[in-house]
Amino acid sequence: MKPKLLAVFLLIVFAPLAILGWLGLRFARTEGELMRHRVQEVMAVLLRDFDADIAGLLEQRERELMALPPIAGRPPNEVRALIRTLPAVNQLFALDERGVLMYPDATKELSSTEEAFLRRTSDIWRRHDILAAAGDAGSDRTAPVRKSDQPPERSSQKGWHSWYWGEGVNLIFWWREASGTIVGAELNRSRLMADIIAVLPETGNVPMSQEGVVGMNRLVNSKREPVYQWGHYLLPDGELPLVTIDLSPPLSAWQLESYLHSPLVDADFGRGLMFNVFGGLAFLAAALVGLAVYFYREQTRDLREAQQRVNFVNQVSHELKTPLTNIRMYAELLESHLEEAAEKPKTYVGVIVAESQRLSRLIGNVLSFSRSQRNALTVHGTRGSVDDALRCTIQSFEPSLAKRGIETRFNANATDTIEFDRDVLEQIAGNLLSNVEKYAQGADRVDITSVLDGESVTITVADNGPGIPARERDRIFQPFHRVSNKLTDGVAGAGIGLSIARDLARLHGGDLVLDPSEKGARFKVVLHVLPTRTQEPS
């Protein structure tokens, strides 16, 4: 293949493939992202469920605490006794309307737990955080206590307060008792943690029970330190969670995180799609290359055939040259020897005649072939005897056949006058006898038989030469086909004689076939008798 053609071929094949590949890649990437997004949504819903469970736990605490007997105004000993019955609570407290602690009362004797509570919560009371959250922190903090049955509409009845102290976040739940006094409880952090963990799935639980999925969820505190995690997954350093959600207040500084490795989320999904896309493209490329090779082969076959035709013309010209040279040479000899003995000029004239006949046969073949290529072959019927025409052709071959030791025997049975194309018959017979002359090496006879059978005349030409190999029997009738063996090597011929002879026979309503024979080649020509018509002047 020429480099230019190869470049065009590569461009035609690979440019569309490159475009398709690019589109496929984009598709795979978008599809991968879409899938990741969907999984993220599913995981976010799961995490929100866990958050709802934690929120449910805190609501439960709220209900339990609000169901406690009134705390405000109780003697400290009783409150202390009450606290001892509440494992989830560190400390209870009660505020007066100015936001000053009524219990634990710093002015009175305190237990060590109460002292510690006041120490860690001092900022809250100083800033009146809880009073403000309850909506009671007006400009006048010294206002009289409102009647318990008429709480101000804007005032809140309960709430959470979170603050950082020690190792992390601490929670205070406050509520308004029936008297209107604000009381509250500091939750026990360890206990709260244990309760939260209890509502979350067990450590061995897998976030998504699907094949090929590895995942882990975890609860992290405000410093992003893991508080608890479940699932089988060793988190590599620096890996970011697939989904993160903040817990609902009051634990909104904490987060739930989900890490997931699944074929749907990872690049594997896109990669799988890409694999499919590239598989398809490879198949397409193979199909395109196959198609290109097919067209290339077709094209080279056309080129080969064109080349064959050129060779044919060369061959024919070459063939025309030899008889012409002979004609010229013998004509010249005839000229110089005419006065000599009468025998020699006779031989020379005989050669001139034979060669000119051969030349006209060759030219006749070339012309017939070009006409048959243009579908312009025609038959012209004349009245006459088939045997006469055959005899004429046989006579012209007799001397050269005799020279090769081939005896010509003519069994003539078609003497009646019929309508047929004499030129066609002579051309067919001439080609068959010429082949005997060329290829029937070692033969000692050729039998020509003619039989007239009502509507058709059958002529057989049978020699006892080497014959034609069985596998070549059909192919010898194809144009330009020559049996390649030592018989044809060195023998002039373009491989069109039998093809033209068959075309002509078929045009004449008959056929030319190679009949089976024990020895040699046996060709059978059938010509249909043409309908009688008035002869048009040519």
Q: Which stretch binds ligand ADP (CB under 6 A): 46-54, 320-328, 350-358, 482-490?
A: 482-490
Q: Among residues 134, 389, 494, 505, which is the contact residue for ligand ADP, using CB under 6 A?
A: 494
> Tokens standing for 522?
């046996």
What's the Cα-to-Cα distance from 375 to each of 216, 367, 378, 510, rounded to whole Å?
84, 12, 9, 17
Q: Among residues 482, 502, 508, 528, which is the contact residue for ligand ADP, using CB under 6 A?
A: 482
Q: Which stretch binds ligand ADP (CB under 6 A): 37-45, 114-122, 169-177, 479-487?
A: 479-487
Q: Using alpha carbons, select from 461, 411, 459 the residue that is nearest to residue 436.
A: 461
Order of strands across the sheet that contains 214-220: 226-231, 214-220, 255-261, 243-246
User: Based on the number of CB atoms within 10 Å of its own CB, is 365 exposed (0-12), middle (13-18) or buried (19 or more)?
Assistant: buried
Q: Among residues 179, 244, 449, 488, which is the contact residue for ligand ADP, using CB under 6 A?
A: 488
Q: Among residues 235, 483, 507, 513, which is the contact residue for ligand ADP, using CB under 6 A?
A: 483
Residue 156 or 517: the one with the smaller Cβ distance to ligand ADP is 517
Spell out the residues 6+ positions from residue 167 whose beta carbon is closer than 8 angstroms to its own.
189
Spell out the residues 6+ positions from residue 446 whose beta carbon is closer than 8 angstroms to its own.
401, 406, 407, 408, 409, 433, 436, 440, 461, 462, 463
Under rule CB under 6 A, residue 498 binds ligand ADP: yes
* Residue 383 CB, nearest approach to ligand ADP (Å): 29
Beta bridge partners of 218: 229, 257
Binding residues among 427-456 for ligand ADP as defined by CB under 6 A: 431, 435-436, 438-440
Q: Which stretch binds ligand ADP (CB under 6 A): 181-189, 260-268, 332-340, 488-496?
A: 488-496
Residue 328 or 519: the one with the smaller Cβ distance to ligand ADP is 519
Rounded CA-CA distance 126/116 in Å is: 16
Under rule CB under 6 A, residue 369 binds ligand ADP: no
The DSSP call for residue 175 is E
The DSSP call for residue 494 is -
Under rule CB under 6 A, residue 465 binds ligand ADP: yes
Rounded CA-CA distance 386/437 in Å is: 22
Buried b (16+ CB within 10 A) or exposed e, 38-57: ebbeebbebbeebbeebbee
* Residue 411 CB, nearest approach to ligand ADP (Å): 18
* Residue 366 CB, nearest approach to ligand ADP (Å): 11
Under rule CB under 6 A, residue 397 binds ligand ADP: no
Q: Which stretch binds ligand ADP (CB under 6 A): 126-134, 210-218, 268-276, 493-501?
A: 493-501
* Residue 361 CB, nearest approach to ligand ADP (Å): 11
> Tokens standing for 345?
């000029």
Rounded CA-CA distance 483/390 in Å is: 27
Rounded CA-CA distance 436/398 in Å is: 11
Q: Among residues 493, 506, 513, 517, which is the contact residue for ligand ADP, using CB under 6 A?
A: 493
Residue 290 or 469: the one with the smaller Cβ distance to ligand ADP is 469
Locate tokens 């499919």: which residue? 276
Amino acid identity for residue 169 in this structure: V
Q: With contact defined as beta carbons under 8 Å apart, do 391 and 358 qualify?
A: no
Under rule CB under 6 A, residue 512 binds ligand ADP: no
Rounded CA-CA distance 185/133 in Å is: 15
Under rule CB under 6 A, how many of the chain's residues touch ligand ADP? Answer: 22
Under rule CB under 6 A, residue 468 binds ligand ADP: yes
Binding residues among 514-533 for ligand ADP as defined by CB under 6 A: 521
Under rule CB under 6 A, residue 168 binds ligand ADP: no
Q: Among residues 463, 503, 504, 527, which is the contact residue for ligand ADP, using CB under 6 A?
A: 463
Q: Among residues 24, 381, 495, 510, which is the contact residue for ligand ADP, using CB under 6 A?
A: 495
**Residues found near ligand ADP in the complex (CB under 6 A):** 431, 435-436, 438-440, 463, 465, 468, 476, 482-483, 487-488, 493-499, 521
